[in-house]
Structure 1
Amino acid sequence: MKKTMEDPSKIMRRSIHTFLQNYHRVTTAAAVALPFSAGLLLSQPFFSSSSSILHMRLNMLFRGAGFSSSHNFFNILSLKLSQTLSSSLFTLPFSLTFLLLSKAYVIKLLSNNHSADSSVFYLRLLKTYVCNFFFLLSANASAFALFFLAYNILEAFGFSSRNFYTFLSVSSPIIYSIIIANAFVISNLALVSSPSSSSGGYTNILKACLLIHGRSSTALAIALPTNLGLAGVEALFQYRVLRSYYKGDRDITSIALEGTFIAYLYALFLVLDSIVNFLFYQSCIKNEEDQKIGREDEYSIKIQISETENTKIHIKGSKNLQEIL
């Protein structure tokens, strides 16, 4: 049976409606996530030295794996990965505490399970979050292995012209973005589904992989607006806070106040992202249940038709037997 999902625009409208309907509680969740968002925004510019060291190490790793330094894609990728790793390591204590506590609060609010123990929600989220970290590492490693095989096989067959490198520079970021985007969608879906399961961890990731099958386009469509919002807030922080700090055209108090406000805005987008992922998870579950009911109804109809046909055959056989007698 074909999987029919709810329209992404409807999920986004329901998410925004839920966000505004519970705004007084959402602000509490955003306040809990504020240390994480502030640490994440501050970590990007102030860890450039450590990211440059990681950038050099990753470039050496790519060259050792057989990737040519003339591939601009891998230079850009190693720079982005080094910045992401440096920022993630710095914000790891905040993400394991404030971010997960905020998500646990939002999921408990939306699931209407107010009697459940909050510590159980948090522990399941923590276990799944750690497993998601290794899952994302595996997704990156799989992408690199795929590129390594593709580049070396194609070069072995003589595809080493300038047009070939141009084609690889264009196609590789697209393929890598699709792989990582799907990995992030699966990890987010596993995270919001962990409190409803008996235990978090890799079982939730496997469950998310099954739920996302045939629905990846919908998942990517609903993930795009919140990620664009988060990227916009990061750009706003760079322009309004860091630019003013380095230029020195404003006093430090006003910069700190505006930076706090922008960090809180970032936290609100994180809460909205949790709401979107949770409602998408509920939509997937509802769709699976509807399909199960549809299959059961179809099976029962087939049984009824079969029983009706058997009854007709039995009646016809009885009539023929009476005529013979």
Structure 2
Amino acid sequence: MKKTMEDPSKIMRRSVHTFLQHYHRATTAAAVALPFSTALLLSQPFFSSSSSSIHMKLNTLLRGAGFSSSLEFFNILSLKLSQTLSSSLFTLPFSLTFLLFSKAYIIKLLSNNHDSIYYFRLLRTYICNSFFILSANASAFALFFLASTILDSFGFSSRNFYILFSLSSAIIYSIILANAFVISNLALVSSPSSSSGGYTTLLKACLLLRGRTSTALALALPTNLGLAGVEALFRYRVMRSFYKGDRDVTSIAIEGTLIAYLYALFLVLDTVVNFFFYQSCVENEEEQKIGGDDEYSIKIQICESENTKICIKGPKSLF
């Protein structure tokens, strides 16, 4: 009999328990990831204004591709993409080093394996993940362009239609991007168990997620909300005070470092949650395979004991 997927709340409780149980090591991993979290938090407000040139180029590209200027969704999306692209390029050296070293440390701790090539497998998978996220964005844009072209050819050009199309496009884009990030995170924590990491790990993650997407999204929600909350806290407490000049620079820097460290702790917790989710997926797959083998052997024995003339071997076929 097939075992159902473990409840997300149980995986989350086990992850939090393990995180608190090994808190001294989790703080070490957070200290390793601190340069990345600091660079990420600093890059977002600074690049929100300096990414205007990229935003203009993306808008020009969208207009050239045939997207209507009446679709406000694509204006917002191009602005967000330009900020994300600028921030990602700025933090790339930190993510390829400090972030991956932190994740490798946590995965090695949880798996009780001291393989020294963890980092290189994570690095290959992380690079493939980056191209995968870019492909997901490109696919979403291609889908929206095709839908916009078809609907325009049928004469759907009213303002209400554009609002409805923008809302539906935003929902579809969020679903595509959420699934892409879930696959990327699962591939990253499973890469040390593979032979070399890379695109094969992505394919393995896609197979493991079949029928488990809702569980993965439910697990990703709490940590992502925590990360978003820390980002908002950094903007309010640090960047707002810095621009207003109502506090001493030293106190702002100390508070900013503490907030960045809190962000790094959430990154560590996210790695722990993804690791236990991966373990749950693997255990579920193994138990389903064992259950299928047991069902096969039982049916073969029944078939032989009853001297049935026609017996088709298989887990579900018995005559």
Tell me the TM-score normalised to structure 2 length.
0.95
Q: 1:166: how far off?
A: 1.6
Match of 1:302 among 299, 303, 309: 299
Instruction: Trace 1:219-258 onto structure 2 (pairs within 5 A).
Output: 219-258=216-255
1:153 aligns with 2:150: yes
1:3·1:214 contact (CA, 8 Å) conserved in 2?
A: no
The match for 2:75 is 75
Superposed displacement of residue 163, structure 1: 2.1
Report the Cα distance in structure 1 between the residues aligned to 2:88 and 2:23, rounded to whole angstroms. 29
> Could you say which residue in structure 1 is the equivalent of 2:29?
29
Q: How far did residue 177 of structure 1 move?
A: 0.2
In 1, Cα distance between equivalents of 2:163 and 2:242: 39
- Kindly state the Cα deviation for residue 49 of structure 1 after the two structures are TM-superposed: 4.1
* 1:44 aligned residue: 44
Secondary structure of the 1:47 match is: helix
Question: Where does structure 2 lack aligned partners over 5 or more consecutive residues?
Answer: 311-319
Between structure 1 and structure 2, the one with the greater Rg is: 1
3-state SS of the aligned residue for 1:310?
Answer: coil
Show the counterpart of 1:111. Answer: 111
1:48 Cα deviation after fit: 3.2
Q: Deviations over 1:113-147 (max 9, x none)?
A: 13x22xx0000000000000000000000000000
Q: Alpha carbon RMSD of aligned pairs, Å?
A: 1.4
- Counterpart in 2 of 1:55? 55
Identify the residue that residue 144 of structure 1 maps to in structure 2. 141
Partner of 1:97: 97
Counterpart for residue 180 of structure 1 = 177
Aligned twin of 1:206:
203
Equivalent position amino acid for 1:242 in 2:
M
Q: Could you give the per-residue CA deviations for residues 92-116 of structure 1, whole angstroms, max 9, x where no partner exists?
A: 00000000000000000000113x2
- State how far apart, in whole Å, the 2-side matches of 1:47 and 1:136 are: 20
Q: Give the Cα separation in 2 of the matches to 1:7 and 1:127.
A: 31
* 1:17 correspondence with 2:17: yes
Amino acid in structure 1 at the alignment position of 2:53:
I
> Take 1:157 and 1:208, find their aligned partners in 2: how far apart are those partners?
40
Q: Does structure 1 conserve the Cα–Cα contact (< 8 Å) formed by 2:183 and 2:206?
A: yes
Gaps of 5+ in 1: 314-325
CA distance in 1, matches of 2:143, 2:309: 60
Partner residue, 1:291: 288
Q: Which amino acid aligns with 2:267?
A: L
TM-score, length basis structure 1: 0.93
Does residue 1:122 correspond to 2:127, yes or no? Answer: no
Equivalent position amino acid for 1:216 in 2: T
Say how many residue pairs are matched.
310
Shift of 1:268: 0.1
Q: Distance in 1 between matches of 2:19 and 2:155?
A: 56
The Cα of 1:70 is off from its aligned counterpart by: 1.0
Cα distance, 1:3 vs structure 2:
6.8
Partners of 1:158 and 1:48 in 2: CA distance: 37
Question: Identity percentage over the alignment?
Answer: 82
Distance in 1 (alpha carbons) for counterparts of 2:67 and 2:54: 17
Aligned residue type for 1:73: F
- Report the AA paired with residue 205 of structure 1: L
